[in-house]
Amino acid sequence: MLKAKILFVGPCESGKTVLANFLTESSDITEYNPTQGVRILEFENPHVTSNNKGTACEFELWDCGGDPKFESCWPALMKDSHGVVIIFNADIPSHLKEIEMWYSCFVQQQFLQDTQCLLIAHHKPGSGSDKGNLSLSPPLNKLKLVHSNLEDDPEEIRMEFIKYLKSIINSVSESRDREEMSIIT
């Protein structure tokens, strides 16, 4: 069985835990309670299988606390991760600057490909879902950006997340195939 580890990172109060619970169909959280360090959710998604063999895939979603005081834990969190989802609140201007640091730390310094990264502009209930042009500076403007609004259109983010999981599983499966071939040859 293929296993993939995906990190949910981003500034404080961007909605990482709410999204993590929604996308893994875990419990709903009603009040804000900052994640201390990390929360690990294990799940399978019936829509995601490896290659065309129909092999089930298991995911570990690491919901990482956004507080900089946990920075000393980040190297341990990043170890062996296959993908990074950077979540930010599009209504908080400082988040646009902060996500550059998250990208640099969790994607570039880990030598992950941009395809292994997904940016989610999370719109909290009542914020209005202004999907206006977010001006992201390079290299963030090359990343796939999706908007999530669990109030107005929860299925859109679910579908985008499934597409992302499929791409991660393909890259995990390809690198495993390459490893196996290098052992044989």
Q: For the residues of 102-145, what is the DSSP string, one character each? A: HHIIIIITTT--GGGEEEEEE--TTS--------PPTTGGGSEE
**Structural domains in the chain (count):** 1
| pLDDT, tens digit only, all 185 positions of the chain | 789 999 999 999 999 999 999 999 887 666 778 889 899 999 988 888 776 666 778 999 999 999 999 999 999 999 999 999 999 998 888 998 899 999 999 999 999 999 999 999 999 877 765 666 678 888 999 999 999 999 888 999 999 999 999 999 999 988 888 999 999 98
pTM of the model: 0.91
Q: Which domain holds residue 166?
A: 2-184
Which CATH number covers residue 162? Answer: 3.40.50.300
